[in-house]
Amino acid sequence: MTAIKSQVDMPRQEPNERIKNFDEVAIGYNAEMALEEASRCLNCPKPQCVKGCPVEVPIPEFIKLIKEGNYISAAKKIKEKNSLPAVCGRVCPQEDQCQKNCVLGIRGDPIAIGRLERFASDWERKYSKIEKQEIQFKGGRVAVIGSGPAGLTVAADLAKLGHKVTIFESLHAAGGVLMYGIPEFRLPKEIVQYEVEYVNSLGVEIKLDSTIGRLATIQELFDDGYDAIFIGSGAGLPNFLIIPGENLKGVYSANEFLIRTNLMKAYKFPEYDTPIRVGKRVGVIGAGNVAMDSARCALRLGAEQSNIIYRRGRDEMPARIEEVENAEEEGIHFEFLTNPIRFIGNSRGFLEKVECIHMKLSEPDSSGRRRPEPIPGSEFTIELDTAIIAIGQSPNPIIQQTTQGLETTRHGTIIVNEDSMETKIPGVFAGGDVVSGAATVISAMGAGKLAAKSMHQYILSKKGILQ
């Protein structure tokens, strides 16, 4: 029996270099590497990998096109199902999705599906132009609220089906978390804008600076003649610890820190007007993707020491393994089983230190999760001049506050029928983080795909085209 060849490595910037810049850390496959990796794929007739992809990317088909050297066709093949391949190839938690199911993974390395997806779409971006697509308008008018991965997916899918779609985005740039949250060194903003432009080329209109709930309510959108509405407003409301000293100067929510850095490009201050202040010693509370991104941004913004402070242990960290490894390589320091209990400031209201307590993990509870418990008397302090709170986000509140009849959970997430993504208001659908709570790009896109299907049916039956 022949041994399975191992996965082709992806080149990356060296850690001591990359902490001085915001350029992309992972450099990506060249054609030679892509061919070699693609050649490992067995082109399974009943591909297990596809089952792990919420948007059903035709994985064996596109890999076959790469093997044949048809890189642009490979990218087009992916785009039949996934409108944001260059994004997904970079930020999908592939190890838990498509790659987890790849048969090669049983006895060796699974195919690097994400890296190949990234390669094909990067190639297409470099060597072909976006052409305005001529799609015949034969459906209804759709309003999509929010231009994150969920909203973009709904818009692209419905446009392809012949509906006239308008996206309303409250910020001055489209892309949602892809623009304001995930840092440039993981996902260059130019690439996000290219994918947005592709959605645009399908005939989707994008209205920026438009906060629905304030500028117009859901009801007013119906009054304006929209047939169906999708809410993809995300989970952007930062949670705080609710401990003393949290409003001291120097304590940021991760969202503020990342919006300033990424969307507003504060790392280029004063060329860009938005300021950011990062001290010498930074502490990031939390250990998810958002925390890793914050800690790594802080380092690039000049922090001498950037720490992750987390109340559970290493094995419980929710961040992607690859990003934890990247963070460690860059010299991020981890304080596990440590929970902040108060921030302490100086007489001028600036953060100086944080008092923490050591934690231990209890026996697994009925859900299998080991709860952290404080160890009495183990209090100690860590000196910090900047703290970044990255303990999760709740749904953006404005639409829920301003829409009558929309049912929500006590966490503020919108309740939908999970088979159709329709809310309690007929014709209003929702998906992505605003329904699931903070999750992943690909799950938001999967929800968008499902919503687009049922919105299409809804509009057709409303218009009497389908009974």
Partner 1 sequence: MYEIVHKEALSPNIKLIEVKAPAVAKKTKPGQFVIIRIHEKGERFPITISNSNKDEGTIQLIFAEVGKSSILLGKLNEGESILNLAGPLGNATDTKDYGNILCVGGGVMVGALLFQMKVLKGSGNNITTIIGARSKDRLILIDEARKYSDDFYVATDDGSEGRQGIEFLKEILQQKRFDHVFTMGPTSMQKIVSEYTKSYNIPTTVNLFPIMVDGTGMCGACRVTVGNTTRFACVHGPDFDGHQVDFDELISRMRFYNPNEKIAMVLYEGV
Ligand X SMILES: Cc1cc2nc3c(=O)[nH]c(=O)nc-3n(C[C@H](O)[C@H](O)[C@H](O)COP(=O)(O)OP(=O)(O)OC[C@H]3O[C@@H](n4cnc5c(N)ncnc54)[C@H](O)[C@@H]3O)c2cc1C
Burial of 304 (0-12, 13-18, 19+ CB in 10 A): exposed
- Is position 212 an interface residue for ligand X (rule: CB under 6 A)? yes
Q: Can you spell out the DSSP letters for 121-153?
A: HHHHHHH-----------S-EEEEE--SHHHHH
Residues lying near ligand SF4 in the complex (CB under 6 A) are found at 41-44, 47-49, 53, 55, 57, 59-60, 82, 88-89, 92, 94, 97-98, 102-104, 111, 113-114, 117, 442
Query: Between 89 and 93, whose beta carbon lies closer to ligand X?
Result: 93
Judged by beta carbon distances under 5 to 8 A according to partner kind, the member of partner 1, ligand X, ligand SF4, none in contact with residue 246 is partner 1
Within 10 Å of residue 439's Cβ, how many Cβ atoms?
Answer: 14
**Which residue in the set 37, 184, 422, 433 belongs to the binding site for ligand X (CB under 6 A)?**
433
Judged by beta carbon distances under 5 to 8 A according to partner kind, the member of ligand X, partner 1, ligand SF4, none in contact with residue 146 is ligand X
Task: Say if CB 355 and CB 381 are below 8 A apart.
Answer: yes
Task: Report in angstroms how near the CB of residue 188 gets to partner 1 at its nearest.
Answer: 17
Judged by beta carbon distances under 5 to 8 A according to partner kind, the member of partner 1, ligand SF4, ligand X, none in contact with residue 441 is ligand X
- Output the CA torsion sign for 357, 358, 360, 366: positive
Judged by beta carbon distances under 5 to 8 A according to partner kind, the member of partner 1, ligand X, ligand SF4, none in contact with residue 271 is partner 1
Q: How far apart are the first and last CA of the chain?
A: 57
**Which residue in the set 41, 145, 309, 450 belongs to the binding site for ligand X (CB under 6 A)?**
145
Judged by beta carbon distances under 5 to 8 A according to partner kind, the member of ligand X, partner 1, ligand SF4, none in contact with residue 453 is none
Task: Say if CB 229 and CB 427 are below 8 A apart.
Answer: yes
- Is position 149 an interface residue for ligand X (rule: CB under 6 A)? yes
CA 225 to chain centre: 32
Return the range that interacts with ligand X (CB under 6 A); candidates 145-153, 155-163, 199-207, 306-314. 145-153
- Is position 413 an interface residue for ligand X (rule: CB under 6 A)? no
Total count of residues recorded for the chain: 467
Bridge-based pairing of strands 380-383 and 205-207 is unpaired
Residue 429 has what DSSP assignment?
E
- Is position 439 an interface residue for partner 1 (rule: CB under 8 A)? no
- Is position 83 an interface residue for ligand X (rule: CB under 6 A)? no
Please state, in angstroms and rounded to a whole number, the distance separating the CA atoms of residues 444 and 466: 28
Residue 259 has what DSSP assignment?
I
Q: For residue 52, give the nearest of 7, 4, 110, 10 by alpha carbon.
A: 110
Query: Between 21 and 247, whose beta carbon lies closer to partner 1?
Result: 247
**Which residue in the set 49, 104, 191, 444 belongs to the binding site for ligand X (CB under 6 A)?**
444
Residue 50 has what DSSP assignment?
G
Q: Can you spell out the DSSP letters for 345-393?
A: E-TTSBEEEEEEEEEEE----TTS---EEE-TT--EEEE-SEEEE-S-E
Burial of 207 (0-12, 13-18, 19+ CB in 10 A): middle
Return the range that interacts with partner 1 (CB under 8 A); candidates 202-210, 304-312, 317-325, 418-426. 202-210
For residue 270, whether the previous peptide bond is cis, meaning omega lies within 30 degrees of 0, is yes
Residue 275 has what DSSP assignment?
-
**Which residue in the set 140, 232, 238, 279 belongs to the binding site for ligand X (CB under 6 A)?**
232
Please state, in angstroms and rounded to a whole number, the distance separating the CA atoms of residues 427 and 429: 6
**Which residue in the set 55, 98, 150, 285 belongs to the binding site for ligand X (CB under 6 A)?**
150
Task: Report in angstroms how near the CB of residue 288 gets to ligand SF4 at its nearest.
Answer: 19
Task: Report in angstroms how near the CB of residue 282 gets to partner 1 at its nearest.
Answer: 16
- Is position 392 an interface residue for partner 1 (rule: CB under 8 A)? no
Judged by beta carbon distances under 5 to 8 A according to partner kind, the member of partner 1, ligand SF4, ligand X, none in contact with residue 321 is none
Q: Contact residues for ligand X (CB under 6 A)?
A: 91-93, 145-151, 168-171, 176-177, 181-182, 210-213, 232-234, 236, 258, 289-290, 293, 320, 396, 398-399, 432-434, 438-442, 444
